[in-house]
Amino acid sequence: MKRKQLLVTLLFAGLQTAAFGQNGFLYGLLRKPSVGNDVSSGQIFLTKLDPNTDTFTQLSQTSLAPAFNLTGAALNPYSQEYYFESFTTFLSVNMLDGLPIAQNTMSNPIAPSYFDNFRFNPSDSTIYGLARRTTSTGIGQANGELYLAKIDPATAVITQISPQSVGQIYAGISNAINPHEMVYYYSTQTAIVGLDIYTGQIYSSQTITFPQGGMFIDNYTYNCADTTIYGLVRMNTAPPLTFYLGKINPQTGVVSIVSQQPLPYPMYSANGSSTIDPVNGVYYFAASLPGPEIKIIGVSVTTGAVVSESTVPTLNGSILYYDMMRHSADCFEAAAIRENPNANSAGLTQVQQGSVKVAPNPFEQLLTVTAKAPIQALTLRDSQGKVVLQTHPAAQSVELQTAHLQSGVYFLEVQSTNGIELVKVVK
């Protein structure tokens, strides 16, 4: 009887997590600014926003901290925790009641460092960021160092992954994680750099090129639904700004514009406040309007048009801010398709790319897969990592019926007697 009760409890907990991860809410920090130079007078509350009803719900009944660091935020939909930094403290907050779970001083056992530009990776439930420190190279001289790192939210201990520094500086408060390929992206002043999450080494580095008039791409983030990095493309530096929703290809560094017209706001908050609802295809950011007035803007990643505006409430006539937003469904249940190059899964090796052919790609009704060796298993996953097709053909060629699949990006895992190859396909 007890075993049956436990099974029901675990099943219910799993259903709760699934519903939570897809509830369509934005979670962020509702901030009452400090008075004058008194930083301790500021107040911060974990708050959720329903962009469909423009309803802000303050979850924290008391202030969590007087200030936060513009270095990133993370949301764990599985444990239902929200993470941010305040000075040298790393805070974990319960997303149901807004109460702190843990708040510890950050520490790096190798050497003191900051922990910047961090995000949660749903494919391995880990928070990744940049361990940043400065070392003295002589009187009046210093050298910057960057390392891919992860942090334990329960203890705030930073673990460096990169065996050596991968750079000296990063530009802006923009970062993205591709949970499928297991790559962390950040920008220097001129390039978009991808770091291999498994090894901490540089995975890719491409000079950023803009369309005519483009100068910067800020607040970018990865969209699991179409495997694309979106951000705000800025055309000038002085307010009022002219900017568009755009995207960047990390394999080429090429930036392109999605919006047909400039977004109708004089300024946006460049503090890591970008997140995507992959289910509805909406990119969110915070915009400042005259008044002053703060709005949370939703933009279609398909058309680049504004689809929602939620006005941040005021307190006794004083302006409040809403920062460091994360969407509960952002890459929820994404699965890694690129295996750890240092690990041999189930005794299988990665086969040389190109030993498997798929046609047509893009596909519609049928997808034909041909390998150079007998295929032992085929697994097709959607962009969220869910298995939508699986078969064990024991043949070198197999035809998959795909008429029932929705349009989108899929990942095909082909296991043959030679090893495993992963192929990205599109319907």
More confident residue, 5 or 144: 144
Instruction: Residue 414: give its domain's CATH number.
Output: 2.60.40.3080
Q: Is residue 10 in a domain?
A: no
pLDDT bucket at 2, cuts 50 / 70 / 90: very low
Q: Quick one: 145 and 280 in the same domain?
A: yes
The pLDDT value recorded for residue 97 is 97
pLDDT at 242 > cutoff 90: yes
Over range 361-379, report the average pLDDT.
88
Domain boundary among 261, 295, 327: 327
11-20 confidence digits (pLDDT tens):
444 445 555 5
Domain boundary among 281, 301, 327: 327
The pLDDT value recorded for residue 281 is 95
Q: Residue 278, preceding bond cis, omega within 30 degrees?
A: no
- How many residues belong to the chain? 427
Distances (CA, A) of 96 to 56, 57, 261: 14, 11, 39
Rounded to a whole number, what is the largest CA-CA distance in the chain?
Answer: 72
For residue 348, give both structure tokens. Answer: 């299988």
Q: Is residue 17 in a domain?
A: no
Over range 102-111, report the average pLDDT.
96
Place of tokens 């369509």: 24
pLDDT bucket at 203, cuts 50 / 70 / 90: very high
Q: Residue 250, preceding bond cis, omega within 30 degrees?
A: no
Pairwise CA distance, residues 177 & 198, whole Å: 13
Over range 350-374, report the average pLDDT.
80
Instruction: Residue 87: give its domain's CATH number.
Output: 2.130.10.10
Q: Between the ranges 157-161, 317-321, 332-336, where is the mean pLDDT highest? A: 157-161
pLDDT bucket at 350, cuts 50 / 70 / 90: very low
- Of 153, 88, 93, 101, nearest to 127 (Cα)? 153
pLDDT at 424 > cutoff 50: yes
291-329 confidence digits (pLDDT tens):
778 999 999 999 999 999 999 998 776 789 999 999 999
Q: Quick one: 70 and 202 in the same domain?
A: yes
More confident residue, 33 or 180: 180
Pairwise CA distance, residues 326 & 299, whole Å: 15
Pairing verdict, β 126-138 and 202-207: unpaired
CB contact at 8 A, 96 and 140: no
Question: Which residues lie below 8 Å from residue 238, measured CB to CB, with a gap of 6+?
Answer: none
Pairing verdict, β 74-76 and 81-86: antiparallel
Q: Is residue 44 in a domain?
A: yes
Pairwise CA distance, residues 167 & 146, whole Å: 5
Q: Quick one: 121 and 225 in the same domain?
A: yes
Percentage of residues in the chain having pLDDT higher than 70:
88
The pLDDT value recorded for residue 107 is 97
Pairwise CA distance, residues 427 & 423, whole Å: 13
The pLDDT value recorded for residue 209 is 96
pLDDT bucket at 380, cuts 50 / 70 / 90: confident
The pLDDT value recorded for residue 240 is 81
pLDDT at 159 > cutoff 60: yes
Pairing verdict, β 306-311 and 409-416: unpaired
Instruction: Count up the domains in the chain and report the number.
Output: 2
The pLDDT value recorded for residue 142 is 55
The pLDDT value recorded for residue 173 is 74
Domain boundary among 327, 356, 391: 327
CB contact at 8 A, 47 and 26: no
| The three-state (H, E, C) secondary structure of 265-323, written as one string | CCEECCCCCCEEECCCCEEEEEEEECCCEEEEEEEECCCCCEEEEEECCCECCECCEEE
Q: Is residue 12 in a domain?
A: no
The pLDDT value recorded for residue 402 is 92
pLDDT at 3 > cutoff 90: no
CB contact at 8 A, 210 and 231: no
pLDDT at 83 > cutoff 60: yes
Pairwise CA distance, residues 289 & 294, whole Å: 6
Q: Is residue 13 in a domain?
A: no
Q: What is the DSSP string of 109-154?
A: SSS--EEEEEEEETTTTEEEEEEEEEEEEETTEEEEEEEEEEEETT
Residue 37, amino acid: N
377: domain range?
345-426
CB contact at 8 A, 189 and 169: yes
Q: Is residue 334 in a domain?
A: no
pLDDT at 356 > cutoff 80: yes
pLDDT at 333 > cutoff 50: yes
Over range 342-366, report the average pLDDT.
67
Q: Quick one: 305 and 372 in the same domain?
A: no
pLDDT at 252 > cutoff 80: yes
Pairing verdict, β 126-138 and 114-121: antiparallel
More confident residue, 143 or 294: 294
| pTM listed for this prediction | 0.80
CB contact at 8 A, 409 and 397: no
Q: Quick one: 224 and 365 in the same domain?
A: no
